[in-house]
Amino acid sequence: MKPALTIEQAQKVSDVWASFVEFTQGSLMMAFRSSIPESFLPYPKAVIHQAMDIVVDLYAEDQPEVAKAASSSLVSLEALYKPDEEALEQFANKSRNKAFIKSIERVVNKQQKRSLGYLLQNY
């Protein structure tokens, strides 16, 4: 059994995980949809689980919204991240599907338009 994380370690993992979800997960979802290889995670799933459990316990009474966010993040961790071989096999199968390719193209085009609009408005 792996040693328990300290509160400080759990908070660091939580901060990294929150940043990862905010800045990286969306792009991975655009590419892989609902089956992202676990190797993209900033830490192994078990470490993220352990850290989020500590954060939930730590903030449950004083800051329940933080505890709820930490708990909710585990839903996406379990729903989206799969063992690499499984995720890549699903991606390969989807890549042969023309409807899947079209949906990816629409998402990418929409994102490009948003980015271009932002640049034109702000620079």
Is 13 inside any structural domain?
yes
Segment 96-109 mean pLDDT: 75
Does the pLDDT at position 92 exceed 90? Answer: no
Q: Which structural domain, as residue segments, surrounds residue 56?
A: 7-122
C-beta pairs of 63-71 under 8 Å, 24+ apart in sequence: 69/18, 70/14
Give the model's pLDDT for residue 36: 92
Is 1 inside any structural domain?
no
Could you identify the residue written with the tokens 């932002």? 118
Number of structural domains (the chain) is: 1
Residue 15: count of CB within 10 angstroms of its CB: 12
Is 38 inside any structural domain?
yes
- Residues, the chain, total? 123
- Please tell me whether the overall predicted TM-score, pTM, comes out greater than 0.95 for this model: no
| Confidence band, pLDDT 50/70/90 cuts, at residue 111 | low
- Residues 39-64 have pLDDT tens digits of 999 999 999 999 999 999 999 999 99
Does the pLDDT at position 95 exceed 90? Answer: no
